[in-house]
Chain A
Amino acid sequence: MIRERYLNGLVLVLLFAVPLWALSNDEPFTITLATRAVIFALAAVGLNIALGLGGLVSLGHAAFFGIGGYAMGILAYHAQTYTPLMEFPFVIEGTKSMPVIWLVAMVTSGIAALLIGLLSLRTTGVYFIMITLAFGQMFYFFSISWIAYGGEDGLSIYIRNDFPGLNTLVPINFFAICFAILCLVLIINGLIARSPFGLALNAARQVPQRIQTVGLDPQRLKLVAFVISGVVTGLAGALFADLNRFVSPTMFSWQMSGEIMIFIILGGTARLCGPVVGAVVFVMLEHFLGGLSEYWHIYLGTLLLLVVLFARGGLVGLIAGREVAHD
């Protein structure tokens, strides 16, 4: 049994090493694949804050992924067409600056998460799952009917956005940006898990009847977790749109919500690097199995089924053994 801490380190080192190897072997596509894995991992880390830590089975997290994507799409679109977003009551121009776009993506996803959370957290259990799924759908249909930004066909953004000091069109540079963000978020995630908030949230998940009796408000704890979770997934969405230079309603789809959850389960819920491992495995399966057969989803489905039925702790669980109660 490899200690989980070492496994985490190993995963991250590999994730950084592979693109470097690809760089030296002139395989830019591999770098793009790695970036895709990193962004998916980020989306999943976001969901895991609500799901793994808070026990909130949100089946509509694609809503935040899409909001982040469209935040980028809309801002960049207006920048590339030199038209302002809004002229009244004050002028808002588009922008192609990544930091600004990220900020907007995070704030809008956060607000959406607050509103969706306030409504959805009035319910528990199956109702919660169904409601979050329904909200995801709401955004999906809304984006399809929003013809101004492409509707069903989506929106293409011609040039990658800017990051101060780097040529973001170079694959390894963009990968480095995404990887740095992922590492930063993982560190914050780790800190949150060990903090008083993390302790309270984790306890609220395991033993809900206890929380109020010690003077803590479980609803507020869950709402905050849900908002943080939405913000992170929203950031991932903005990065994803930037990677593909394309944003479309599929970012809001229920399939996307399901996929984000799959990343977590494959790797292991409530494990710090579970989402990372899961996302990497998914992207590899997508690439290799997808190359073999266009029906590779059957294999994905079977693998997922086997993991759920027989390997509940995900891959990290299999390799690192039972979770060590960390303090």
Chain B
Amino acid sequence: MLMSTILIIEQILNGLQSGIMLFLMAAGLTLIFGVMGLINLAHGSLYMIGAFAAAAVAGLTGSFVLALIAAMAAAALAGVLVEMLVIRRLYATDHLDQVLATFALILIFSEGTRWAFGSFPLFLDIPDYLSGPVTLPCGIQYPFYRLVLICVGLLVAVGLGLLITQTRLGVQIRAGENDREMIAALGVDISKLYTLVFALGAALAGLAGALVGAIQSVQVGMGEPVLILAFVVIVIGGIGSIKGALIGALLVGLTDTLGGVFLPQLFKLFMEPSAAQTSGSALASMSIYILMGAVLIWRPTGLFGART
């Protein structure tokens, strides 16, 4: 068994990076569900819109920073539009209606984007000042950009935490999560609060789309696999909990990355190489869901979800 420590540390960092990007999606989703009680399948579309906006702006201006700003703005704008036109009518309906309506939005956004930009992926490049490897304290070389992602993600996590606990908006969010009718009765403008929360979630999704779009490709349909993973994260972490979203996201990111790399290696210990590779990869692809299943057996409402 020849697994170097370098490989392990590299993969752990990769897992953290993919996890923290997943957190950006999951945080928005869990806030939206926690405050508005709305399950939003169109969140993946907002991720995609952010990525496309970033690619378009980067292509036009050459500036990565502008691209990121454009991503968040475009996603937030799309979010506000969608919230005012469609989502608003769904707050009082049941989950089935919300699922179907937001699924319809996926169809409209995906095909709309394909119509506007074509079927081929766009390219978003990592800017020169962020590319290239960096040498870590332990002597390992690791892509600078991915480290930046981890830092950005952690900053957002801290920022969200401060927002929720220290600001007035945060108080309204927390109160809204507990008792929607009450805060309306107390004079909080529910309508504005909801739109704001939706826009915030959308901006986070757009940011994630742009950041990840630079490592992977920017194409139609890129958002939905991430969306579903984000759902797994929320199930594991507990609906409405930012802390749960963070821990769940990191767990999922690590499980996915480490499982994909090491399970086949593990199987090679007692199986012949080709069978090990197939069984290992197959199991790795299911590992996240097995993790989710395990958490659910232990805690049906997630690690930090409301106990019934």
Contacts and interface: CB of A to CB of B under 8 A. Distances in A.
The answer to whether A and B touch directly, with their CB atoms under 8 angstroms apart, is: yes
Contacts of B195: none
Contact of A134 (B96, B105, B110, B228): B228
Nearest to A55: B96
B293 A57 contact: no
A252 to B, nearest CB: 12
Contact of A138 (B89, B114, B286): B286
B292 A131 contact: yes
A145 B278 contact: yes
B110 A297 contact: yes
Interface SS majority for chain B: helix
Contacts of B302: 127
8 contacts: A119-B293, A119-B297, A125-B95, A131-B235, A144-B285, A145-B284, A146-B282, A258-B103
Nearest to A57: B96
Nearest to A296: B111
A261 B235 CA distance: 22
Interface in A100-114: none
A134 B231 contact: yes
Nearest to B89: A309
B289 A301 contact: no
A295 interface: yes
Interface of B: 33, 39, 86, 89, 95-97, 99-101, 103-108, 110-112, 114-115, 224-225, 228, 231-232, 234-235, 239, 278, 281-282, 284-286, 288-289, 292-293, 296-297, 300-302
Given A130-B234, A138-B289, A308-B97, A298 B228 contact: no
Interface residues of A, number: 42
The interface centre, meaning the residue of B39, B103, B289, B296 with most chain A CB atoms within 10 A of its CB, is: B103
Given A127-B235, A130-B235, A265-B100, A305 B86 contact: yes
Contacts of B96: 51, 57, 269
A312 B235 CA distance: 29
Nearest to A125: B95
B228 A145 contact: no
A142 B95 contact: no
A207 to B, nearest CB: 14
A145 B281 contact: yes
A206 B96 CA distance: 14
Q: Which 8 A-B pairs have the closest CB atoms?
A: A301-B107, A141-B285, A138-B289, A301-B108, A304-B104, A130-B231, A305-B104, A297-B111
B288 to A, nearest CB: 8
Contacts of B39: 126, 129-130
A212 interface: no
A126 B232 contact: no
Contacts of B288: 138
A5 interface: no
B43 to A, nearest CB: 12
Given A134-B228, A262-B100, A308-B101, A119 B286 contact: no
Contacts of A147: 278
A148 interface: yes
B108 A302 contact: yes
Contacts of A300: 104, 107
Contacts of A326: none
Contacts of B100: 261-262, 265, 304, 308
Contact of B296 (A123, A126, A137, A262): A123
A122 B297 contact: yes
Interface string A308-322: 110010000000000
